[in-house]
Structure 1
Amino acid sequence: MKKILITGKNSYVGKSFKSWLGNYPDKYSIDFISLRENSWKEEDFSVYDVVLHVAGIAHVSTDPKMEDIYYKVNRDLTIETAEKAKAEGVKQFIFMSSIIVYGDSSSEQRVIDKNTKPTPSNFYGNSKLQAEEGIKSLNSENFRIAIIRPPMIYGKNSKGNYPKLAKAAQILPLFPDVDNKRSMLHIDNLSEFIRLIVDHEESGLFFPQNKEYVSTSEMVKVIAGFHSKNIKLTKMFNPLLNLIGIKFGIVNKVFGNLVYEKSMSLYKENYQVRDFRKTIELTEK
């Protein structure tokens, strides 16, 4: 039985992963630990095979007063946790990074491939990237480091932009018809991917995503359909969106383009256990 320690007691990814492993009750045991106080430093990590590090600040802030906190939590705490895990004999450390290390989405087509260099556009993305760089040197045959850079994660009770779009789908009669493409990752697909990474004791850099790219407009329409709402997509707002998108990043965040080239996300076992329509059904029902 694999013994897994998850950092971040309130983590959406962490709690969802534990729930997913409930499908395999005899294969894994899960414990959570909070890193908010210094008491975690006294805990014994040596009893665990894997540390899944999902503790961190997940939302993007532009408040310069928050910058130091982002680096302390997302970078420094990650490195300190990894160092403790290695020193105490943990075999694998899995770090949840983000596609945000590549910067923002774009109004133009934007495809990330294996040659794309990270160019973070804010201190959230930079703190994640610096955390990656800070733990890479700890990787060894006896301490395997797996870094996961997921795109937008969504699912039942998720936070971020998805629930805002889902709410819009249920109340708006019209929604902009924009032909964009986004990589996304349903929480079940991510949970299965992490499970496989644990099983195979992987190390390296990983880019999981759903099989399908997603258009924001089509996603809203599908969400509306599961609520028996007939939302109409229209291009009448597109000129205005193009105009204000230059000045307001939120437009590109919602309607911009940002995808992983699909071959980057292939794995030796299938982790994409939910197709797009099923993920929306499970999220919305």
Structure 2
Amino acid sequence: MKHLLITGVHSYIGNAVEAYLEQWNKREGQGRYQVDKISLRDGFPKPDGESKWDALLHVAGIAHADISGVSEETKALYYRVNRDLAVETAKWARQAGIPLFIYLSSVIVYGESGKACRNVHITADRKPAPTSFYGDSKYQGELGLQELETEDFHVAILRLPMVYGKGSKGNFPMLVKLAERLPFFPNIENRRSMIYVENLAEFIRLLTESGEGGIFFPQNEEYVSTAELVKEIGTARGKKIRLVRALNPFVRLACVLPGKAGGMAGKAFGSLTIDLGIDQGPEGYRKYSFSESIRKSV
């Protein structure tokens, strides 16, 4: 049996991993995985001899917020949660004898793709260069965690692209709404790395089995344009959406607008890809194709 502790009780990814492992147990007819969840607002459990947990999945964090025009107090909160709390939790996990700490980071540590619809391509030799306090708080969390690694305590850092699935937050539900309402959509040929939440859950399951540490870049097996994504959502909903190049100039104009409008357009139509040649850790985690994942998500 493998015993996983999830720190954070209201996380979309944490809840999805718990549900996925429950379904895995039922499908395989064995109780291979046991999951416990705790809220860090209640403090840390007191270590009691040898740890019963094989891995800790740390999902407590702040993301998917409008980070423009925020106060210094709000910025400080991002660092307290995404950096300080993660490091404190890892110190407790190491003291408690938990051999693997899994930290959910983000490709945001490489900067934003949302400015002027620019293209970001992440290769193995590209260094993190966060351009926002959110990205910097995640990267500072990574650095603090790496300092805690020992031969007996491994840290797995997952630099995630957009995570989507049923009930997800962020850009995906916005695109679902657009697919429901629009008969036409701009045919912008951008490219995005994404990962379906159940593919991510399988990746985490395999990490729990291997106990492997390192920096990982789980993603679906193909890049997808925003136009392809919206069209696939429409197909899953039984609706035909025409992709129209005549709308592309309006998108390019929106991308250079100042403020929130330009940022939203850039996030939707910029390119952000992770090189498919980067070592991505455990193999065989992509259980669902892009089309299958969209059908399950909408």
TM-score category of the 2 structures, normalised to the smaller one? over 0.9
Q: Which residue of 1 aligns with 2:68?
A: 62
The TM-score, its normalising length taken from structure 2, stands at 0.91
Q: Quote the offset at 1:176 in angstroms.
A: 1.1
CA distance in 1, matches of 2:109, 2:134: 8
Alignment of 1:1-285 (within 5 A): 1-22=1-22, 23-24=24-25, 25-35=30-40, 37=41, 39-44=42-47, 46-60=51-65, 61-65=67-71, 66-105=74-113, 107-246=117-256, 247=258, 248-284=262-298
CA contact (8 A) 2:47 2:95 kept: no
Q: Quote the offset at 1:27 in angstroms.
A: 1.4
Report which stretch shifted further, 118-127 or 24-33: 24-33
CA distance in 2, matches of 1:193, 1:63: 36
SS in structure 2 opposite 1:6?
A: strand
CA contact (8 A) 1:209 1:265 kept: no
- The one-letter amino acid paired with 1:62 is S
Q: Quote the offset at 1:237 in angstroms.
A: 2.3
CA distance in 1, matches of 2:53, 2:291: 37
CA distance in 2, matches of 1:43, 1:216: 47
CA distance in 1, matches of 2:191, 2:14: 27
CA contact (8 A) 1:183 1:212 kept: yes
CA distance in 2, matches of 1:122, 1:129: 11
CA contact (8 A) 1:16 1:187 kept: yes
Q: Identity over aligned residues, as a percent?
A: 44
Q: Quote the offset at 1:140 in angstroms.
A: 1.1
Q: Quote the offset at 1:227 in angstroms.
A: 1.4
SS in structure 1 opposite 2:37?
A: strand
Report which stretch shifted further, 227-236 or 70-79: 227-236
- The one-letter amino acid paired with 2:285 is Y
What is the aligned-residue RMSD (CA, Å)? 1.5
The TM-score, its normalising length taken from structure 1, stands at 0.95
CA contact (8 A) 2:64 2:169 kept: no
CA distance in 2, matches of 1:139, 1:266: 20
Report which stretch shifted further, 182-191 or 264-273: 264-273
CA distance in 2, matches of 1:266, 1:71: 27
Q: Quote the offset at 1:181 in angstroms.
A: 0.2
SS in structure 2 opposite 1:149?
A: strand
CA contact (8 A) 1:62 1:122 kept: no
SS in structure 2 opposite 1:111?
A: strand
Structure 1 runs (4+) deviating above 4 angstroms are: none
CA contact (8 A) 1:92 1:145 kept: yes
CA distance in 2, matches of 1:62, 1:42: 36
| Per-residue Cα deviation, 1:162-206 (whole angstroms, up to 9, x for no partner) | 011011101112111100000000001100001111101101000
- The one-letter amino acid paired with 1:245 is C
Q: Quote the offset at 1:20 in angstroms.
A: 1.1
Number of residue pairs the alignment of both structures matches: 282
Q: Quote the offset at 1:26 in angstroms.
A: 1.7
Gaps of 5+ in 2: none
Q: Quote the offset at 1:265 in angstroms.
A: 5.0
CA distance in 2, matches of 1:266, 1:142: 22
CA contact (8 A) 1:183 1:260 kept: yes
CA distance in 2, matches of 1:42, 1:200: 25
CA distance in 1, matches of 2:263, 2:185: 19
Report which stretch shifted further, 87-96 or 60-69: 60-69
Gaps of 5+ in 1: none
SS in structure 2 opposite 1:236?
A: helix
